[in-house]
Every structure is written in structure tokens, then in C-alpha cells.
Amino acid sequence: MSKNVNYEDLKNLLKRLEAAEQESPAFVEKLAKQIAARLLRALKKNTPVYETPDYLNPIKDYEKRAQYQFKRTGGTLRRAWTAERVQIKGDIVQITIFNPMEYASYVNYGHRQTPGRYVPQIGLRLKKSWVQGSFFMEKSENQTEQYIQQMLEPQIMQFLKGVFDGK
């Protein structure tokens, strides 16, 4: 017994798969840029900014001084975050996000210092031998991983649905 088989649907699926193969590098690059942008945003938000304490504030009028208990004088570390371009090498998609400030790792992981040493920038003597790190990089990575699961998975499913449904 012979049966007639219509291969048109398979040919259409093959065309859609070939079209998806052509579109996939741009789609993956778009997703990588979204992840990098989200990580960069979280890093900037979580990076601490040095604040001058009230007793170092030059305002002498105590009524005005109450308004300015902490005056932000830093922000260089926060503003220094940078992302490079997307690099696709085979199956690996890479975007490098870095902070060129030499003290970024010390703020993140913590550092030792010499107690009793006078620091003219803050006008104080150091009291502790260890300054605890703020671990802002790890916090930002965790926030970004949650974003990937919530936001990118539906985009991938929509892309695949378009391939298999013919849209």
C-alpha cells in the first residue's frame, strides 16, 4: 500500500528554522545587551557613595546644618562603571563590565588599614584595622540572575513560538 504524503508543512518548517538560524545571532546579542544593561544599572545602584559626616560639614549655621546632615562628596566609583561591546565567539556571548577605579575591589571585598593613622581627606584618625566590604558586585549579580529568569525566558519562548507557529 502506498500513501500520498504532503511534505509542504515540513518544507515550511525547514524554511522557518533556517530563517530563525539567521535571526538568532541578533536575538542573542539583544538579550546579552539587556542582561548587561540590567547588571550595569544594578551595579551603579548598589555601589556605595562616600558621604561627609555632619561634623565635617563646613556649614556653621546650625539651622541650615540640620538640613544637610550628610553631604555627598563622592560618586566617582559609581560613575566609573563601563561595559564593552558584545563579543560572540562560537557558542560564547561575552560582554565585559568593569570599573577602572583601582580601589573598587577594596570597597567591594573590604580592606585592612593602620589604626591611628591620620587621613587628611576625611580629617580623622583611623580606628579599625579591618573595614568590612559592601559586596555590591555580588548583590548586583543576584538581582540580575532573578531578572534573567523573570524577563528573558518569556522573550525566548516568544521567539521559539514564532519559529514553530510560523509567525
Report pLDDT digits (tens) over 116-147.
998 877 777 888 899 899 999 999 999 999 88
Q: Is 100 helix (H, G, I), strand (E, B) or coil?
A: coil
pLDDT at 105 over 80: yes
Look up residue 129 and give its DSSP letter: S
Classify residue 87: in a domain, yes or no: yes
**For the whole model, what pTM was predicted?**
0.75
pLDDT of residue 53: 62
- Mean pLDDT, residues 23-44: 92
Assign 101 a pLDDT band (cuts: 50, 70, 90).
very high
Measured in residues, the chain has a length of 167
pLDDT at 56 over 80: no
Assign 71 a pLDDT band (cuts: 50, 70, 90).
low
Classify residue 48: in a domain, yes or no: yes
pLDDT at 75 over 60: yes
Classify residue 148: in a domain, yes or no: yes
pLDDT at 59 over 80: no
Across 24-33, 61-70, 155-164, least confident range: 61-70
Per residue in 36-48, pLDDT (tens digit) is 999 999 999 999 9
Domain span holding position 91: 11-165
Distance linking the first and last C-alpha atoms of the chain: 36
Number of domains in the chain: 1
Classify residue 98: in a domain, yes or no: yes
Q: In angstroms, rounded to a whole number, what is the distance separating the alpha carbons of residues 101 and 117?
A: 23
Classify residue 4: in a domain, yes or no: no
